[in-house]
């Protein structure tokens, strides 16, 4: 090699850096390299749910085909096409349903949930006959706080199987309805039922319950679920 090209490290001219600049440069380069390795790395999540169609019910009423929902904790982080969600996020749990529709829960706006235990007592009757001759007497004999609790538990299971996540209920012992709804992870708008003077005497056991009828506990449950 010609002598003009034979240079040692000591012979290479370089600027003189202030004291400590080398350390700062190393820190900067280290941070830059760390940032570069994180570019494109999916963000961690708890769960990703995918489906053939995502019904968003957002202001634009978007219907996303081959979509996905990204979830962290109890919050939805993102909704979009499956390919986009998969690039941006990585979840500990994943559920793929390529033939399903993923949508917000349905709302049942009129229920007497605990009456699931009275199903099939009588059919093919007028409403008044069905109520006065069968349902009212059956309720007078059977409705207790435990009856309402277990009947509502059954109703919650059935509602969730059909995609219902919120229900509006009117019955007795609504504090027990609130308990069952909370156990199931459902939302409930709950109000205790009142009967006119004509029905008094059919429900002696029910009418002797405490005056609050559970509405305070029900209201507290609704507040905690928000």
User: Can you tell me the mean pLDDT for 191-201?
Assistant: 59
Domain borders along the chain are 43-102, 106-225
- When pLDDT is cut at 50, 70 and 90, the band that residue 39 belongs to is low
The model's pTM is 0.65
Question: How far is 81 from 68, CA to CA, in rounded Å?
Answer: 6
Domain 106-225 has CATH 3.20.20.140: yes
The more confident residue out of 81 and 5 is: 81
43-102: CATH architecture:
Roll (2.30)
Tell how strand 63-72 and strand 75-81 pair up.
antiparallel
pLDDT digits (tens, 9 = 90+) for 116-143: 999 999 999 999 999 999 999 999 999 9
């Amino acid at each position: 090699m010609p002598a003009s090209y034979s240079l040692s490290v000591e012979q290479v001219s370089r600027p003189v850096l202030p004291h400590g600049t080398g350390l700062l440069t190393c820190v900067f380069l280290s941070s830059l390299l760390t940032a570069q390795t994180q570019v494109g790395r999916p963000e961690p999540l708890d769960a990703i749910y995918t489906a053939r169609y995502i019904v968003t019910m957002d202001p634009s009423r978007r219907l996303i085909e081959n979509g996905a929902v990204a979830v962290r904790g109890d919050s939805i982080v993102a909704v979009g096409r499956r390919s986009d969600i998969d690039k941006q996020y990585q979840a500990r749990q994943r559920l793929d349903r390529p033939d399903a529709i993923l949508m917000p829960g349905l709302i049942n706006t009129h229920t007497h949930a605990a009456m699931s235990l009275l199903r099939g007592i009588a059919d093919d009757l007028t409403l008044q006959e069905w109520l006065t001759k069968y349902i009212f007497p059956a309720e007078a004999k059977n409705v207790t706080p435990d009856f309402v609790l277990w009947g509502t538990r059954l109703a919650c299971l059935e509602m969730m199987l059909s995609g219902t996540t919120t229900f509006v209920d009117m019955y007795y012992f609504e504090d027990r309805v609130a308990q069952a709804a909370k156990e199931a992870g459902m939302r409930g708008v709950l109000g205790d039922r009142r009967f006119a003077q004509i029905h008094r005497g059919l429900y002696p056991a029910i009418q002797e319950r405490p005056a609050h009828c559970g509405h305070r506990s029900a209201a507290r449950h609704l507040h905690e679920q928000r």
